[in-house]
A and B are shown apart, each in its own frame.
Chain A
Amino acid sequence: MTETAHIEHRDYTGAKLGMWLFLFTEILLFGGMFLLYSIYRTTYTADFHEAAKEMSVTIGAINTVILLTSSLTMVLSIAAIKQGAKARSLVLQAATVILGGVFLLNKYFEWTEHIRHGYYPDSPELLAMGHGKVLYFGLYYVMTGIHGIHVLIGAGIICFTFILTMRGVVTDKDYIKLENTGLFWHLVDVIWIYLFPLFYLIT
């Protein structure tokens, strides 16, 4: 009797399906912005190319590698908890949060640099440059901004799973919370994979 009392009903397929459905809405959210981007880029091709020269490919590439590495540490932390390696999973989760933080820090430096050059929404410099550049920077701030918020939220959730893992709520028997957090983190990575060439590599 005591055996059966401890058996809980767990529906992993349901939990994961729910997460994927949420991720689909995220794909459509960014999809709408990608649509807007592609239309304006076709309309103002030359302006977009000109505006993209303001971007530092080096910082963009560094941030891409940082985010890819954070995805690796995330997936390894799940692999670790599955094998019952709690300490290893905790270290990898912490590494993921730190890499996310470094990504945002780079983004902060980038944005500061743009604003210093007078490229910010409604700035007199930008308005004097015509529609194409205004649209490029508008889309740049909105898309990387919403992506940045996702990184921030993702890092916050990983802090949460870190505590849950520490307290023994997330274990080798029950790791769906960590797995779904991983799904979110990877999707944020996937979106950046597209943002990088679209905003940095079109000169």
Chain B
Amino acid sequence: MEEKQEHHIIVRARTFVLVWTALVILTAVTIKAAEMRMGEWSMLANLLIASTKASLVLWFFMHLKYEKKIFKMLFLVPIATITIIIGMTFFDIWYR
């Protein structure tokens, strides 16, 4: 019966339209941030905005918000893997 409960969560269309609006606004913000020519900071700003957008898509559109805990935990595995690989590679490049 647990199964039934879980799959009858119906998210209102309004929520999705709001998320979409936020995504479009963030796209405009990221273009403006790039135009401001803040050097390395604009790179950081763009990546932060992209990650915010990606999180919105994952959390709402991909239903991660409404999934069991195991889905949320498992998602950290590829993210941690990539972070470690990129981090270690950069340590190699910087201190070579």
Residue numbers of A with Cβ under 8 A of B are 12-13, 16-17, 20-21, 24, 27-28, 31, 34-35, 38-39, 42-43, 57, 61, 64-65, 68-69, 71-72, 74-76, 79, 82-83, 179, 182-183, 186-187, 189-190, 193-194, 196-198, 201-203
Contact = CB atoms under 8 A, between A and B. Distances in A.
Contacts, number: 115
A13 B74 CA distance: 13
Contacts of B43: 202
Contact of A197 (B49, B77, B78): B49
Which 7 residue pairs are nearest across A and B when measured between Cβ atoms? A201-B34, A197-B46, A31-B82, A72-B20, A24-B78, A27-B78, A190-B54
Number of chain B interface residues as a range: 35 or more
B1 interface: no
Interface of B: 3, 6-8, 10-11, 13, 16-17, 19-20, 23-24, 27, 30-31, 33-34, 42-43, 46-47, 49-50, 53-54, 57-58, 60-63, 67-68, 70-71, 74-75, 77-79, 81-82, 85-86, 89-90, 93
Given A42-B93, A197-B47, A190 B24 contact: no
A64 B23 CA distance: 10
A74 B7 CA distance: 18
Contacts of A203: 34
Contacts of B62: 182-183, 186-187
A27 B75 CA distance: 10
B52 to A, nearest CB: 9
A35 B63 CA distance: 28
B22 to A, nearest CB: 10
Contact of B27 (A68, A71, A76, A83): A68
Given A27-B78, A74-B61, A197-B49, 14 more contacts: A12-B6, A16-B71, A35-B82, A38-B90, A57-B31, A64-B27, A68-B20, A179-B63, A183-B62, A187-B62, A190-B54, A190-B58, A196-B30, A197-B47
Contacts of A31: 78, 81-82, 85-86
Contacts of B74: 17, 20-21, 24
A72 B49 contact: no
